[in-house]
A and B are shown apart, each in its own frame.
Chain A
């Protein structure tokens, strides 16, 4: 079966008035693709794969220099390109032929929910939005933005967690609440799973067995699911005010408003193992698989290596000038919503470089990703935007 016809005839490319010649492609010119110094042996396919993927360009257009060693500097370039290429190709956006980044707020898909939308999460198919103003939880189909259901009686609903086949919502009441929704059942009033959570529960996360809330009164509540309601709640005091909570696969981290602000790593009992300086009023962070991105609340964001607690970078600019509120991660990019402007700020997660910032025309608050889109709640009109 004839499969790969070498480009023996040079491909002529007119680039901005210049002529580029794609020389050296194919067996007619090299032993292994364009490379004259690589044997057509068992290693040739490996060399060609990283050439086609853009991981290497060769040492010249026709040489690869196969016998030379790789320096650590070259290795960094190869590994960086490998990671970028794999993440880009492996994303759902690639399979859906969606390589763009929306560049302005007027072209975003919008779903009107009303009330005051706060945090939100995807269950893989639908988006669940906590609506503080209305005391509801909205279920929106991600594929088309249609409002599917609205659950009620979620007083001061704030944070959302998708886990255990359920939807959990923190209630910022006094004392705080944990609400539950069984998404397989018709929508109705939420179930109050616990009503003795710390005051002003906001951020919510799951460690594989227990639900954690970060509370406005500086406590963390650890809720153990059980067969009967109410579920058991243990509340631990951390500081004066907590906002966000995130689980990195090993530990729960919470953001603490202090002077300066902190990102606190907790042990299984809620005791503080480590505190990392992070902004002034750090809000709702996200974990990207390696690092925790903490919106600082005022004018920056801090990126913390989860394995060590080391601060890798303090990000400024790119729309963070007016403070960040919530961070979200889509597998490649981190998005921050701004606290005092209508911007969202987007960064490449792998190298912490800014991508762009985009005006939404309204002040955003919550954000999440479903792996294809970012979803952002904006404060005007209780709207949900698909970014």
Chain B
């Protein structure tokens, strides 16, 4: 009997430990968000969004160019990553077991785990070295290449949820295969695919390493895709590692803006699926 009591004590202790793990694991996120708000919020003003960075040493200034730069980079990346990713996802969902599909599925997962800096040196090798200078286009391509496998896998997953009966019904009504795929299957899974796209955008929006030797960063106003362009993550990196206190303040504010963008996109992604699946359950 004593033994049984000991076993129950051990069991209780271990279960208690998992509760502690739960607290410890959520702590870093709350701490990071708390510090971002405490240290960043006071530096956020209208000027932060509308003004250019001032020369080092002068107080004030904003990150208008970096915010616009990040949006442009996201635009280029999405233009590359979304269509290819969705197309590849359609192929994987329709041709589940062909050698091409299986290889692609596996390699997409492997690509998802590829260090982003490797994507950066790849983009440098194909777009910066031959052209001779850094450009927004090279940065966008690096980010777009990172999006492709992400979007592919989420699209495929979402398409597999669509019941086969729906596809069969459309085919039986005489729809050609491509129309069945586009206007029935894709249409049904749309909310999920939008979610996947948003998650992918949220993930690349904060990437810094692939931009270091491609978009490079830019102190001045530039919206040309052929020229180096500023980006929020790059600016945060540059300011955080600079010795000037004033720039640290801006780095925190920039980080708060960046994380807000990322969190808003992530939350939007969750809401899109929830409303869709909620309706389906009702």
Q: Do A and B assemble together?
A: no
